[in-house]
Structure 1
Amino acid sequence: MLDTGDDAPEVTAADHSGDTVTLTFAEPTILYFYPRDDTPGCTVEAEEFDTELATYRDAGVAVYGVSTDDTESHAAFREKYDLGVDLLADPDGEVAAAFGVPVEGGAADRVTYALADGEVKRVYRGVDPDGHARDVLQDLVDMGIAAE
């Protein structure tokens, strides 16, 4: 698993709309891996990142959720919960592998990466979804990565 100070890999994946997205992580970005769409903990995490999304954007930080679900599942998940957060499909586990995130039983572990300037700034393992989005944003401000 990548750790603080490691170079961030460039990754390409389809988003919830089926559009191809390539991320280089030059700009501040949160990449949060989660096990499955429309499950209790994953829904809490997605809704909380969505609630904070405007604040993240105002602070100059992009947010992407990644799971091994496909684009159709992501689209349905976003629609069901009226989410605005961008979700990347990683059905083959390639994005997870690039970050060293374990995939067990077809589901990625819950891990969040704070990235900027092409490197890993912080890694959050064993994430508790409740309050996580707010805590990460505060950490980014405290580290000087995000504007207040």
Structure 2
Amino acid sequence: MTPITIGQPLPPLTAATTQGTFDSAALRGKPFVLYFYPKDSTPGCTVEAQDFRDRHAQFQALGCAVFGISRDTLKSHQNFADKQCLPFPLITDPDETLCTLFGVMKLKNLYGKQVRGIERSTFLIDRQGVLVQEWRGVKVPGHVDAVLQAAQNLAA
């Protein structure tokens, strides 16, 4: 599967989440954010989730949904969401379907060893279901503010 690029519409996608089923077709007419993160309950991923949580009302005011995605199980996601009081769904992608579509799987160095994992990345999808902006190799501080600004520009 060739990764999606800016300007391309998303293909129909469904996936299990902590709040039911994610269905990209059902989101038509509404912008949304997909943010990919490496692992539940790790320091950087926790801060990123808290930042999206803390700005969730601002995204909602724009009519923009937020979804977090990792390869963790639904049970792990639910524990993470409960512990961090996350108001948005977390999508489980154990078979890496979404990870592959968005090209976020990378070789990374972990304690001197090469491991395959998710590169922290975020994608903004417009009302027509088209990928309009992406952030790859994300550094957490200030990132959610940049995504919110892009969503505000999209809504303007």
- 2:34 maps to 1:31: yes
- 2:113 maps to 1:110: no
RMSD between superposed Cα atoms in Å? 1.6
Q: Which residue of 2 aligns with 1:88?
A: 91
Q: Which residue of 1 aligns with 2:145?
A: 134
Alignment of 1:1-148 (within 5 A): 1-17=3-19, 19-24=20-25, 25-26=27-28, 27-102=30-105, 104=107, 105=115, 107-116=117-126, 117-142=128-153, 145-146=154-155
| TM-score of the aligned structures, taking structure 1 as reference length | 0.89
Residue segments in structure 1 that go unaligned for 5+ positions in a row:
none
CA–CA separation in structure 1 for the residues paired with 2:46 and 2:99: 19
Percent sequence identity is 38
Poorly superposed stretches of 4+, deviation over 6 Å: none
| TM-score of the aligned structures, taking structure 2 as reference length | 0.84
- CA displacement, residues 1-52 of structure 1 (integer Å, 9 cap, x when unaligned): 42211222221111124x2221135320000000000001100110000000
Q: How many residues align?
A: 144
CA–CA separation in structure 1 for the residues paired with 2:12 and 2:121: 18
Task: Decide which structure has the larger Cα Rg and report it.
Answer: 2
Is contact 1:93–1:103 with CA below 8 Å preserved after alignment?
no
Residue segments in structure 2 that go unaligned for 5+ positions in a row:
108-114
CA–CA separation in structure 2 for the residues paired with 1:140 and 1:56: 8
